[in-house]
Amino acid sequence: MDQFVLTEAVARPYHSNMSVKPDRTEAVVLVTCPDRPGIVARVTSSLDQVGANILDASQHTDVEGSMFLQRLHVSWPDESPEPESVHDVLTELGEELDLSWRIRWGHAPRHVAIFVSKMDHCLHDLLLLRRDGELNCRIPLVISNHPDLEETANQFNIPFHHVPVDSSGDPEAESRQLALLEAHDIDLVVLARYMRVLSPDFINRYQDRIINIHHSFLPAFAGGRPYHQAHRKGVKLIGATAHYATPELDEGPIIEQGVIRVSHRDSVQDMVRKGRDIERTVLARAVRWHLEDRIVVHGNRAVVFD
Contact residues for 179 (Cβ-Cβ < 8 A; gap 6+):
none
Cα atoms in the 13 Å half-sphere on the side-chain side of 160: 20
Q: Is the peptide bond before 219 cis (omega within 30 degrees of 0)?
A: yes
Of 68, 70, 69, 83, nearest to 26 by C-alpha is: 83
**Strand-pair category, 110-116 with 137-144:** parallel
Choose the catalytic residue: 125, 250, 266, 293. 250
Q: Which amino acid is at 179?
A: A
Three-point CA angle 269, 274, 156, nearest 5°: 100
3-class state of residue 15 by DSSP: coil
Question: How far apart (Å, rounded) are the C-alpha atoms in residues 206 and 88?
Answer: 26
Cα atoms in the 13 Å half-sphere on the side-chain side of 290: 28
Active site residue 170: no
Do 239 and 280 form a contact (C-beta atoms < 8 A)?
Answer: no
Provide the sign of the torsion angle of the four alpha carbons 245, 250, 251, 255, taken in this order.
Answer: positive
Question: How far apart (Å, rounded) are the C-alpha atoms in residues 201 and 174?
Answer: 10
**Residue 253: DSSP 8-state:** P
Provide the sign of the torsion angle of the four alpha carbons 251, 243, 179, 124, taken in this order.
Answer: positive
Question: How far apart (Å, rounded) are the C-alpha atoms in residues 112 and 150?
Answer: 17
**Strand-pair category, 210-214 with 188-191:** parallel
Number of H helices, E strands in the chain: 8, 13
Catalytic residues: 250
